[in-house]
Amino acid sequence: MTQLRLTALSARTLAFCLPLKGAKYHLPAPMAWQLNDLHGQTDTVVTTVDGLEPDTEYQLSIGGDVLEFKTPACSGLVRIDDHGASAGGHDTADRAAANARAFTRAIAATPPGGTVEIPIGDWICGPVALRSDLTVLIRGNLIAPSDRAGWPKLPARSHTGRMLGSWEGLPETCFAAPIHAVGQRNITIAGPGQIDGGGSRGDWWTWPKETREDARRPRGIHLIDCSDVQLIGFAIDNAPSWTIHPQGCRNLTIAGLHISAPHDSPNTDGCNPEMCENVTFQGVRFSVGDDCIAIKSGKRGPLGESDHLAPTKNVSITHCLMERGHGGVVLGSEMSGDITDVTVSHCEMKGTDRGLRLKTRRGRGGRIDRITFQDVILDSVETAFSANAFYHCDADGHDDWVQSRDFAPISDRTPKICTITIQDVEIRQLSHAVGAFIGLPESPIGPISVQRVTIDSYAPDAVPTPPIMADHIRPMRHAGIAYEFANISAAQEIKIEDHGLSMTPERTTQ
């Protein structure tokens, strides 16, 4: 039986997956593939291919595996330069606005089920809104302008009260993303081109937590209340804030992307699905300035406002590579609408501060449950696993009512972190701790199952550091699992290869 399968498919692009045993992001060795008269070589489990013909039968073969499929039909191909867009030229607000108008005309001229193409070249372009039943084929470089003069904004709410613009889980006016869509369906954005969000050229990174012109920073791609979306094969970098932000979306596939930002760029998370259902990440490579993937479900307002909240559930993350970031896969801290049923498997994380990270605090409410982290390699990660119910975010994050280890009354603002399963993880060059799990006394974490975890080596130059962002936590170096107010269920000994030792969890956090 063939292991080969399609991850995503459009009229002219595809992503296929060959999940060989033991493979994470890379294959054990490069392999040749054949797709009718197209051919190439790949060294990754997930491979994207451009240049297919619509409504055509194909046979894909690689390593003895064969898969037959047919591409969808395309009702028409429209190029943006056919509607007045011009490549090259100076990075000016006027050129960006003119190209945005041309892009919008091209979208309007594309029949439902058709494709608008961004040809090879450098296209300075202001923010553009997408519509339903559309494929955007990026073969060149779509570049956001450095000047935000005339940049459109998304209001905090629609005329019906639905959250549109947002910031850290609350409705707020924000600048529109270079590519955005609101309430649309059947959208594909495919490569092999690139989107440059303009963060490194504008002033966006100089005011990360502030507003300008009464608005928050834009994302790189912002999809709001959309369904049946595919993001295939392109690169996106230099976003003004979060790189890709699906908000209130359903049935979203993200395959074969390369998401990047400078390591010191503020809050440039890779992809943050928020209040979303049925999200699949496969074969995505991250190297960003904050968390690689941060799964969220909104935040209660300061007075407990919750009408904008919805759950995030059914998220699958496989065969991804996280090369740098604050966390590989992070849940929270905005989790007031609940986050459930998240699986991370067959991934590799290199140089991230943490591998799996859960974070919340009193006042948030909400529940995190049924989280699985398995068959992952963690290389040069400071703390492998953490769950922190005392995360000191927001202006009152260090206040005693947030950080006190005394029991507090339980209410709808009491967060809950429930079942976490961690198994078959290899850790190399560990710095601070295998795990740190700090729950609330009134709402302990768990059950947590940690099984078949191996430490291959420690980082020799590691400096003792608190493994989580909470008050009253002692620094750690080369530590095991530390916990307070947490139920470590069926935890087996952690094998330490380079010392021939093992360790079991201890209450050593304070």
Q: Is residue 142 part of a domain?
A: yes
Q: Is residue 209 part of a domain?
A: yes
Q: Is the peptide bond before 333 cis (omega within 30 degrees of 0)?
A: yes
> Strand locations in 134-202, DSSP E?
134-138, 141-143, 153-154, 166-167, 170-171, 174-175, 179-182, 185-190, 194-196
* Number of CB atoms found within 10 A of residue 458's CB: 17
Say whether both 311 and 407 belong to one domain.
Answer: yes
Say whether both 62 and 118 belong to one domain.
Answer: no
* pLDDT for the residue numbered 509: 44
Say whether both 111 and 167 belong to one domain.
Answer: yes
What count of residues does the chain have?
A: 510
SS (H, E, C) 423-477: EEEEEECECCEEEEEECECCECEEEEEEEEEEECCECCCCCCECCCCCCCCCCEC
Give the mean pLDDT of the chain: 95
Say whether both 149 and 206 belong to one domain.
Answer: yes
Per-residue pLDDT tens, the chain, 510 aa: give them. Answer: 569 999 999 999 999 999 999 999 999 999 999 999 999 999 999 999 999 999 999 999 999 999 999 999 999 999 999 999 999 999 999 999 999 999 999 999 999 999 999 999 999 999 999 999 999 999 999 999 999 999 999 999 999 999 999 999 999 999 999 999 999 999 999 999 999 999 999 999 999 999 999 999 999 999 999 999 999 999 999 999 999 999 999 999 999 999 999 999 999 999 999 999 999 999 999 999 999 999 999 999 999 999 999 999 999 999 999 999 999 999 999 999 999 999 999 999 999 999 999 999 999 999 999 999 999 999 999 999 999 999 998 889 999 999 999 999 999 999 999 999 999 999 999 999 999 999 999 999 999 999 999 999 999 999 999 999 999 999 999 999 999 999 987 445 555 554 444 445 555 444
CATH number of the domain that residue 61 is part of: 2.60.40.10
Token pair belonging to 375? 């068959």
Task: Please give the C-alpha separations between residue 113 and each of 71, 132, 184, 198, in angstroms, as whole numbers.
Answer: 13, 9, 13, 30
Say whether both 38 and 152 belong to one domain.
Answer: no
- The whole-angstrom separation of Cα 494 and Cα 482 is 13
Q: Is residue 370 part of a domain?
A: yes
Q: Is residue 298 part of a domain?
A: no
* Domain assignment of residue 402, given as a range: 305-510
> Strand locations in 112-249, DSSP E?
114-118, 122-124, 128-129, 134-138, 141-143, 153-154, 166-167, 170-171, 174-175, 179-182, 185-190, 194-196, 221-224, 227-232, 235-237, 244-247
Nearest of 180, 321, 345, 159 to residue 247 by alpha carbon:
180
| Domain termination site, one of 290, 313, 335 | 290
- For residue range 4-29, list pLDDT tens digits in order: 999 999 999 999 999 999 999 999 99
Q: Is 234 exposed, middle or buried (0-12, 13-18, 19+ CB in 10 A)?
A: buried
Phi-psi region of 396 (alpha: psi -120 to 50; beta: other; left: phi over 0): alpha
Residue with tokens 């993200």: 254
Q: Return the active site residues.
A: 290, 326
Q: Is residue 296 part of a domain?
A: no
- The whole-angstrom separation of Cα 430 and Cα 354 is 10
Say whether both 394 and 449 belong to one domain.
Answer: yes
- The whole-angstrom separation of Cα 38 and Cα 54 is 14
Residue with tokens 């801290």: 333
Q: Is residue 460 part of a domain?
A: yes
Q: Is 353 exposed, middle or buried (0-12, 13-18, 19+ CB in 10 A)?
A: buried
- The whole-angstrom separation of Cα 492 and Cα 452 is 7
Say whether both 177 and 284 belong to one domain.
Answer: yes
SS (H, E, C) 281-302: EECCEEECCCCCEEEECECCCC
pTM exceeds 0.85 for this model: yes
- The whole-angstrom separation of Cα 133 and Cα 457 is 50
Question: Would strands 383-388 and 420-428 be described as parallel, antiparallel, or unpaired?
Answer: unpaired
Say whether both 282 and 310 belong to one domain.
Answer: no
Say whether both 57 and 167 belong to one domain.
Answer: no
Contacts of 423 (CB under 8 A, 6+ apart): 373, 374, 375, 449, 450, 451, 452, 453
* Number of CB atoms found within 10 A of residue 167's CB: 18
Say whether both 267 and 324 belong to one domain.
Answer: no
Token pair belonging to 31? 């392999």
3-state helix, strand, coil in the chain (%, to 5): 5, 45, 45
Q: Is residue 297 part of a domain?
A: no
Helix or strand (DSSP H, E) at 50 = strand 46-50
CATH number of the domain that residue 88 is part of: 2.160.20.10
Nearest of 386, 509, 382, 385 to residue 458 by alpha carbon:
382
Contacts of 58 (CB under 8 A, 6+ apart): 35, 36, 52, 68, 69, 70, 71
Say whether both 487 and 409 belong to one domain.
Answer: yes
Say whether both 309 and 429 belong to one domain.
Answer: yes
Tally of structural domains, the chain:
3
